[in-house]
A and B are shown apart, each in its own frame.
Chain A
């Protein structure tokens, strides 16, 4: 019998057991087990877990069958005298060897699955995923769609989180720009982070990989059905750890090709004319949008920050002082704090806009503005 056939037999046996044992639970399976798998690997993990549940269930029934037999039949109240035996080498050797054999039975299929899971070679598409406090960015590095790049931020409105608006169907599991991949293609994910450790976790794809600042790790998945799959950051990464979800849309090859074309057009449109001279209202308008997407989590809509960890911008010395100092901190961040170096995340125009906005919003009335070419010059 081949290995696969043996494994299939074991599965059949396990399947038979579940029907007998937990047919009641099976109806509510979607709530009591892993999410519906969307990759072969997720299915393998699902089956492994079920198989282990049978083994554990069986051991539980045997061991506690014996214990509860004692509890009900070996009571002092039934007038019995206690036996005096206190060892048996034979029995003790037996119950060391039997668990060892059971563990070996568990270890074999798990090893096979693990080796397959960690194989990220021969991928069709490679995407670099970068974790930021508290959002993700995606860089399509190789394969169809190469060069596409975008940030992905929670799109659930603050009113829903603070209970002033009814919560939507995908509350906390929705983003502005989902990751899109074609069905049936092997996708390799490279994870890294810019500040602290995050973890990229999508249950239906059986993928969870820590994103570690300064290092790159990899993982892979091959989705076998179309659909939208949702996950969340799985490593505590500070204040808004609960608010940086992951959405992966698996689409047909044709739709994917169309998406790639659309994204490339969008990206081309986003490139600002480097020589354009912006007016103050233009910069403030653009800057407010950039601020809401990147800065509000810490500095708040009101610009008041969250003392003492996240300083206020409203009335701050930096935002009302000389332009150079303001530009420096936004572009290069402040080492050792949560203030990221946004020079790596934003374009010249976006940086110019957000700095101008901060200098002219709330009670700040600096009145001056920063042009994109000043950023360009400062970067050198």
Chain B
């Protein structure tokens, strides 16, 4: 992208909030994209901690065979809530937070298109999160059927915990849809003069595509859980064969949402990585146009592969073949992205600040997750691996080393712009290396557990699985504790530190770096012109 700014960055951002309430009411009533972005980011970090404590509880139970700290029902509630909270409470809102902060600044817009909608879509989240966490303490406990909520187990479970979960999923879905409408409208209508779509940075591009995915599939999830609700309470039989229904119908509907969901989580991360690699290679992104097309093809293909999660449900062999071939196709655009990143680095002038380290970690580990995904796509091999720890390892490579590492990269990359201070580079690097080592310690060995036949979602296991489970548990605690370093680094960076220049990364490109650091409360009140 070759964008030069003609309009001048406004420097009169302070003292602008004339009638806006101060104190905590500022955060309740705010319609400012930066405030709402901050709310999203702190909320998702809190959820990341809650989901993380659940993960550590699970890993502690699995440290050795036998039941020690959790009875089986509680264990199942932990795995279910860990999944739901991490997917809907931590990862998705993180990227909405980045979108709120960065998209208006990157495309030269004054704010998001719909300020009040933006406020509402954030404030729905704490309500939903409260429902999920409180459900642990109601009679019968939280939902215990796994984050995938497969019927008929969800229909069978007694107690209001399951109903609270269904309601929470509805609210979370509403929030995501509103956020997406806002993002699409902002990108399509509020770009600075001269910024054509094909000049836009990769982060808004990937979010534009992601927002369409969200609008397409969140209602599908809402439909699926509503059918569970009516089966539970209103005598319908969507998933009960005795009433003419089919339990497998739930899986089809769920995964029609669930597979695009995977890309909803990872695509904005692709955008972040593209910008970070470009900045620290001091070289334009290789194959910008093919990056955009690859992202769009991944998104479109994601609608046609859902039943590869269901190879063992007993679909006809022709169905298995179709879903296998369609799934393999996704490897092609994904490969193109990885090759483009590597080519961007080729003959650049590389430096390795923390955002770049996380980006490199992302590329290597995400590719490993892609390989295990390719192995899982192969139906006969998947039959051996489906619902084993191999799958657990695979999706954590994509979710943690993929989405979470790209969120770390994004945070370190834009933190100077948000706070006006530089973070502690040395501590950032230690955070990266600890995360990298402990992540692999936790999840790499889980491939072997899966190959040896250990099913997922079990609180207790046979003796031959002990060694790898112990390594994995130690790794998980190391990974969890390393994140405190991240929190400490952010807090000290907000409070002070060396002053950040407008553009702290000499290779960085884009309108956000034309604004001063910290970015003024209201930016681009006069839109810049992009040549």
Contact = CB atoms under 8 A, between A and B. Distances in A.
Interface of A: 31-35, 41-42, 44-45, 48-49, 52-53, 56, 59-60, 63-64, 66-67, 70-71, 74-77, 80-88, 91-92, 95-96, 99-100, 103, 106-107, 110-111, 113-115, 117-118, 160-163, 167, 169-173, 191, 195-197, 199, 201, 203, 206-210, 212-215, 217-218, 230-243, 306-309, 336-338
Interface string B156-176: 111100000000000000000
B140 A309 contact: yes
B455 to A, nearest CB: 5
B457 A241 contact: yes
A100 to B, nearest CB: 6
Interface stretch (B107-115, B212-220, B348-356, B427-435): B348-356
B375 A163 contact: no
Contact of B379 (A35, A63, A110, A214): A110
Interface stretch (B190-198, B262-270, B458-466, B473-481): B458-466
B226 interface: no
Contacts of A107: 324-325, 328
A336 B363 contact: no
Contacts, number: 281
Nearest to B245: A214
Contacts of B281: 74, 82
Contacts of A242: 72, 455, 458-461
Interface in B234-285: 240-242, 246-248, 281-285
B106 to A, nearest CB: 19
Contacts of B453: 34-35, 201, 203, 231-232
Contacts of A114: 317, 320-321, 324, 379-380
Contacts of A167: 65-66, 463
Contacts of A34: 384, 451-453
B155 interface: yes
5 contacts: A70-B346, A70-B348, A74-B349, A100-B332, A241-B76
B488 interface: no
B451 A63 contact: no
A92 B336 contact: yes
B383 A45 contact: yes
Chain B CB within 10 A, most for which of A195, A215, A242: A242
B460 A161 contact: yes
Q: Give the 6 A-B residue pairs with the shortest CB-CB distance, closest first.
A: A214-B241, A217-B314, A242-B458, A203-B453, A76-B349, A86-B284
A160 B66 CA distance: 7
Interface in B136-151: 139-140, 144-146, 150
A209 B345 contact: no
A102 B343 CA distance: 20
B349 A206 contact: no
A81 B283 CA distance: 10
Contacts of B66: 160-163, 167
Contacts of A118: 317, 320
Contacts of B240: 214
A49 B375 contact: yes
Interface in B346-370: 346-352, 360, 363-364, 367-368
Given A31-B448, A103-B331, A209-B312, A56 B140 contact: no
A66 B367 CA distance: 14
Nearest to A32: B448
Nearest to A174: B462
A100 B283 CA distance: 29
Chain B CB within 10 A, most for which of A66, A88, A111: A111
Given A80-B349, A212-B314, A236-B150, A110 B324 contact: yes
A122 B361 CA distance: 51
Contacts of A86: 283-288, 344
B20 interface: no
B150 A63 contact: no
Nearest to B371: A56
B290 interface: yes
Contacts of A237: 153
A209 B314 contact: yes
B73 interface: yes
Contacts of B360: 67, 71
A67 B312 contact: no
A327 B381 CA distance: 47
B289 interface: yes
Nearest to A33: B451
Contact of A56 (B152, B364, B375, B458): B375
B424 interface: no
Contacts of B301: none
Contacts of A74: 281, 345-350
A306 B68 CA distance: 18
Contacts of A41: 380
Nearest to B467: A31
Contact of A195 (B139, B156, B320): B156
B388 interface: yes
